[in-house]
Amino acid sequence: MSWWLLTFSRGGPAAYLSHLDTARAVQRTFARAGVPIALSQGMRPKPRISLPLPLPVGAVGCEELAVVEVPDDLPGPAAALRELRASAPPGLTPLSIVVSGEQHPRPQAREASYACVLEGDAGAVRAAVERYATEVSVVRERQSPKGRRTLDLKEYVVHAAAEPAPGGTRLSFAIRYRDDGAARPQEFIDLIATWAGVEPVMCGLERRRVTWKGMPPGPSPAAGRSVSP
């Protein structure tokens, strides 16, 4: 068996898929393309496919990652990539395949860059971003079924910037992933909107790029054999 690291984009109607539905869409794309996925062992075998980093519903993903185990006797990743592209549903686009040299790669996200357009006064949004840059600590409380948790956004959200854009202000930022988790994009967007005195209404949320631990920043022979356009 071999492990493939499939990079793909998610947008258009596919942007509104949940994390599980996105995984199913990728799995079904393999099935329609005639590219078999290896099955797990046990009473209820399951396809050996995973998406390491969930993408928020409604967000566009420019460089998402799927880790897939496939049989060794396949024709090759170049032919498979062509079939996957022809079989993918609208909004889901396979971009490249890296054949991993590891027995079972488990990529972990290190940093992800995001961008969106925040409605409201551009000057106020820029001032809020400048304020964030000068703050030493920005502690927020998160409520979940598991209870309450406080986190300091300054430990997770970096490279924040704002610039004028049609319909509002383009807000860009990056989230760092740590052993104890990460901040959510909406938490930072809500903070900036509150400080700017505008409604936290944003459109066009994109995850532009993800940097992974133990992997190069993009498909590269350093991670194995790479196939892309």
| Spatial separation of the C-alpha atoms in residues 228 and 130, rounded to whole Å | 39
Q: What value does the mean pLDDT take over residues 168-174?
A: 95
Domain spanning 2-107+214-227, CATH class? alpha beta
- Give 55-106 pLDDT, tens digit per residue: 999 999 999 999 999 988 887 899 999 999 999 999 999 999 998 877 888 8
- Would you state the structure tokens that stand for residue 2, as one six-digit string? 């071999």
pLDDT tens, residue by residue, 175-204:
999 988 899 999 999 999 999 998 888 889
pTM of the model: 0.88
Q: Which residue has the higher pLDDT, 20 or 145?
A: 20
Domain boundaries 109-210, corresponding CATH code: 3.30.2350.10
Is 51's pLDDT higher than 90? yes
Domain spans of the chain, in order of start = 2-107+214-227, 109-210
- Which pLDDT score is estimated for 229? 53
